[in-house]
Structure 1
Amino acid sequence: MPRRLHLPMTITWFTVIFVVPMPFVLLLSRGLPTLYEPSARIILVGAIAYCWMLSAIYMSTRPRWLDRLIGLPKIYMVHGILSLLAIILAFAHKSLMNSYGLIALTGNAAFYILAFLGVWSLVFMSGWLSSRFSILGNARRALERIFHHELNVWLHRINVIAVVLIFVHVNLISYIRAITPFMVLFYAASALVAIAYAYEKLYQRFGSYRGEIESVQGIAPNTVEITMKVHGLRGRWENGDFAFIRFPRERKLHEFHPFSIVSVQGRTDIVSFAIRGDGDFTRTLVANAAPGMQSRMIPPYGRYQRFIEEHSANRPIVIFAGGIGVTPLVPVAMSYGNQGRRMHFMYAARSGDQLLYADQIRRWAQTESCDAQLKVGRFSSAEMRHAMEDDALYLIAGPATMLRSIRRMLLAHGVRSDDICYEPFTW
């Protein structure tokens, strides 16, 4: 069976690559003086690079409406690829276009900042690359011992400085500044992205939900379940969602970090998270989490429930989970399994004590329409193929290598790509 394009993702790519730059290109090309026609293509390349950088910065604000359509991991992927493409075009523009004085200074400074951050992001921020290439993955793990999460987040914000320099660079070019329609669009687009970026940052600091930890319980080695009361969150999340949380009064926990919600969605402001101490942020949190600790939360993100609701309600659901990745799929299974829907839960971990919520999953599997298979170690290809069902939906969560492996297996056996949902935490 042929793979089908995921329509929202296809539209997203088409919009950011072609639709957004098109009016800039048309207005600029029509307004360029005849004297600059030999350099028109290189000038237009610079304009396209700026459009892509604006789009990438907008993506960095994590627009919630777009998350519900394509998912935040894919938003980050688009953000990363757009940024790298913009750097390539900026290099071509810089190399082939002669400029002097402040025009050259602002343009060159912006390019060098973008190039530095591009290389840095390949190692630290673009998990979709470092999870695929062992060299980048090893470099990331080695350097994370020195450069911690909060430093990486702050360095990433220097992108804004580069875009401001490009904004000044364009305003210094007299023959560009004289093209009034282009400059009106240029100012409007720049202002809209600046407003969106500023709003998101102000919201994170002052508008995000306030909360506090109610309880902390060890559920596995180096893993705790943290239950929090989050004021104003009541019912404003979906099963399988994850939320960005920070602890502003705690050292090394000031920046937002994503965690999957293990609670079943309901009309409550009490939510729980299963957290394993893998990175600098999570190790600090697991070691120091205590009742009463103050928190801030951004309203949750996620695609698992939306994905299920986008398909027919009578289709069976097959779940593949690995290790701590089971967290978002527990509430999904508990919710839809109780509705009498046919579900099959495949869950594996490296050791028995890392099979989180095993008793809860086994009790759930006693329902007539549900069954579960828990295993220490990996499922064989034959076991995974045996779990497949006709016309099923597939939910996957776990390590990045596991996600890719299972997805390839499903596609190879005729499952359509838009019948598979997964959200890798690789940023």
Structure 2
Amino acid sequence: MKKSRRIYLALTWLVLIISPFPLIIILNRGLIDTPGHLLAYDLGVVAYVWWLMIILMSTRPHWLIQQIGMPALYAIHGALGVMALIAATIHRFTSFSMFPLIKQTGNIAWYLEIFLLAYAVLFLSGWLVDRLRNLNRLKVWIERHLLNHQVTMWIHRLNFVVIALIWVHVHVIPRLGVVPGFRLTFDIYTGLTVIFYCWWKLKIGRYHSAAKVKNNVSLGPSMQELTLQFENNNESYQAGGFYFLSFRNAKGISKELHPFSVASAPRNKPNEVSFMIHRLGDFTQKIANVPVGTEVKLEGPFGLFNREVKNSQDPLILYGLGSGVAPLISLAQQYAGLKQLHLIWSGPQVNNPYYQKILTDLRKKGVKVDAQVHRFTPKDLIQVISSNELKNANVIIVGSAARILYVRRKLRKLGFEKNRLMDERMTM
């Protein structure tokens, strides 16, 4: 990780850690109680404010993502959720109330947050499923047969129910009503969070674009190329980045935002952006049915790859795993002839005529290409990676989270330092 990213990441954590302090200071100055009881109340405040921060991070602040990256944001999101639940658990078992409504609202919120955290660990993060193959298979089966993408998103929004329960919980505690400024500040925290979330949800922010489907072509049994034409002719995008897409007025497909990586290069067609979509999940399987002319809303662009490649003076290895090659093809097309690039790709799509044509064109433009259907073994990598690349090259890896972890381990054993390996896993 670059030094500037580490600084922004540290500053982000600092802001999150101190965010509850104004409420804690007001509470401790206005409420007379034992130190143990005050600590219990403080931990309740900490848990609530951190849950508000989690909601704010779910809006994917573009300015922050461009500094720390989406994977880091997701990691903070998950870690803060765990920390908030720990604080709430200590609060629950160290505080006491005789009022039934106070107890019930607090307990329901606590149980609900335990469920949401367990659900997120399985379905929205890679902490376990990226490392335990059988658990990943269970996740895939449940997603295909029981819980589709839209249901998953609505379950995650139960965090707002938690917020509402705790808001009631605080407002029915009589003692807090006499603490000067506490409930007002508490409501300001809550109100600003809800307003900002609604502002983002209504797509008032500047990082939303409008486009229409220009082409939607099958590239094989499980691959689809989707090309969008921006409605604004001045619209531009970044090679190797990604957008969250929402299809409007398309029958049979949810309007929920879904991330897809850019597969085209703006140097070729700056007003058209293409995505190579692997039709696997319940959502992506329906992409083929989206008709030409469908309106699409885009949130983004996100991603740090373009900036890394643009600013790099060293050789670059673009390591693609399966359908994860899409953003790397975008980068290779954008910077062919301008940077020293080496595309390494393994996946069943390698022999597809569509991809073969792209690989041939890249070779003609000076990009070194090594592609095969089966995974590259350490022995294979020793043969295709030059001694200069082994010593100086930076590596960008794209693919499923589990396979990225596997490739990172292989490259580290070959001698690549950790700070020369970059990826953007879309899990926590």
Instruction: Give TM-score scaled by structure 1 length.
Output: 0.89
SS in 1 for 2:147: coil
* 1:258 matched residue in structure 2: 259
**Are residues 20 and 354 of structure 1, via their aligned partners in 2, closer, same or farther at CA, if it must alter by over 3 Å?**
farther
Output the CA distance in 2 between the equivalents of 1:215 and 1:169.
52
Output the CA distance in 1 between the equivalents of 2:368 and 2:8.
33
Q: Retained in 1: the 8 A contact 2:31–2:179?
A: yes
- Cα deviation code 1:282-331 (max 9, x no counterpart): 11112x1332233222232111112334x5x4211111101110011111
* 1:402 matched residue in structure 2: 403
Greater Cα offset, 98-107 or 169-178:
169-178
Output the CA distance in 1 between the equivalents of 2:393 and 2:353.
25
Output the CA distance in 1 between the equivalents of 2:343 and 2:38.
58
**Are residues 326 and 30 of structure 1, via their aligned partners in 2, closer, same or farther at CA, if it must alter by over 3 Å?**
same
* 2:368 matched residue in structure 1: 371
* 2:171 matched residue in structure 1: 171
- Cα deviation code 1:209-245 (max 9, x no counterpart): 3332111222232211111113237443211111111
SS in 2 for 1:284: helix
How far is the alpha carbon of 1:271 from its aligned partner? 1.1
How far is the alpha carbon of 1:334 from its aligned partner? 1.6
How far is the alpha carbon of 1:112 from its aligned partner? 2.1
**Are residues 6 and 382 of structure 1, via their aligned partners in 2, closer, same or farther at CA, if it must alter by over 3 Å?**
farther
- Whether 1:333 aligns to 2:332 is yes
Q: Percent identity?
A: 28
The amino acid that maps onto 1:373 is D
* 1:349 matched residue in structure 2: 347
* 2:105 matched residue in structure 1: 106
How far is the alpha carbon of 1:22 from its aligned partner? 3.4
Q: Retained in 1: the 8 A contact 2:112–2:162?
A: yes
How far is the alpha carbon of 1:356 from its aligned partner? 6.3
* 1:383 matched residue in structure 2: 380
Q: Retained in 1: the 8 A contact 2:116–2:156?
A: yes
Q: Quote the RMSD (CA, aligned, Å).
A: 2.7
Match of 1:75 among 73, 77, 84: 73
Q: Retained in 1: the 8 A contact 2:228–2:274?
A: yes
Output the CA distance in 1 between the equivalents of 2:372 and 2:287.
29
Instruction: Give TM-score scaled by structure 2 length.
Output: 0.89
* 2:221 matched residue in structure 1: 221
* 2:293 matched residue in structure 1: 292
- Cα deviation code 1:246-297 (max 9, x no counterpart): 22322232211111111112573321111121000011112x1332233222
Q: Retained in 2: the 8 A contact 1:214–1:229?
A: yes
SS in 1 for 2:252: coil
Match of 1:53 among 47, 51, 54: 51
Greater Cα offset, 251-260 or 127-136:
127-136
The amino acid that maps onto 1:241 is G
**Are residues 75 and 272 of structure 1, via their aligned partners in 2, closer, same or farther at CA, if it must alter by over 3 Å?**
same
SS in 1 for 2:245: strand
How far is the alpha carbon of 1:163 from its aligned partner? 0.9
Output the CA distance in 2 between the equivalents of 1:344 and 1:226.
26
Output the CA distance in 1 between the equivalents of 2:115 and 2:354.
40
How far is the alpha carbon of 1:9 from its aligned partner? 2.7
**Are residues 178 and 391 of structure 1, via their aligned partners in 2, closer, same or farther at CA, if it must alter by over 3 Å?**
farther
SS in 2 for 1:390: helix
SS in 2 for 1:114: helix
Greater Cα offset, 131-140 or 198-207:
198-207
Output the CA distance in 1 between the equivalents of 2:178 and 2:131.
47
Match of 1:37 among 11, 35, 38: 35
Q: Retained in 2: the 8 A contact 1:246–1:255?
A: yes
Output the CA distance in 2 between the equivalents of 1:204 and 1:115.
33
Output the CA distance in 1 between the equivalents of 2:187 and 2:353.
54
Structure 2 counterparts to residues 67-216 of structure 1, below 5 A: 67-99=65-97, 100-144=99-143, 145-203=145-203, 208-216=208-216
**Are residues 384 and 180 of structure 1, via their aligned partners in 2, closer, same or farther at CA, if it must alter by over 3 Å?**
farther
SS in 2 for 1:224: strand
Q: Which runs of 5+ in 1 are unaligned?
A: none
* 1:8 matched residue in structure 2: 8
**Are residues 175 and 229 of structure 1, via their aligned partners in 2, closer, same or farther at CA, if it must alter by over 3 Å?**
same
Structure 2 counterparts to residues 298-317 of structure 1, below 5 A: 298-309=299-310, 311=311, 313-317=312-316
* 1:66 matched residue in structure 2: 64
The amino acid that maps onto 1:280 is D
Q: Retained in 2: the 8 A contact 1:245–1:295?
A: yes
How far is the alpha carbon of 1:422 from its aligned partner? 1.1
Q: Retained in 1: the 8 A contact 2:52–2:190?
A: yes
Output the CA distance in 2 between the equivalents of 1:379 and 1:98.
59
**Are residues 354 and 83 of structure 1, via their aligned partners in 2, closer, same or farther at CA, if it must alter by over 3 Å?**
farther
Output the CA distance in 1 between the equivalents of 2:173 and 2:333.
61
**Are residues 175 and 37 of structure 1, via their aligned partners in 2, closer, same or farther at CA, if it must alter by over 3 Å?**
farther
Output the CA distance in 2 between the equivalents of 1:96 and 1:186.
22
**Are residues 126 and 117 of structure 1, via their aligned partners in 2, closer, same or farther at CA, if it must alter by over 3 Å?**
same
Q: Retained in 1: the 8 A contact 2:279–2:285?
A: yes
Count of residues in Structure 1 that have an aligned counterpart in Structure 2: 418
**Are residues 38 and 352 of structure 1, via their aligned partners in 2, closer, same or farther at CA, if it must alter by over 3 Å?**
closer
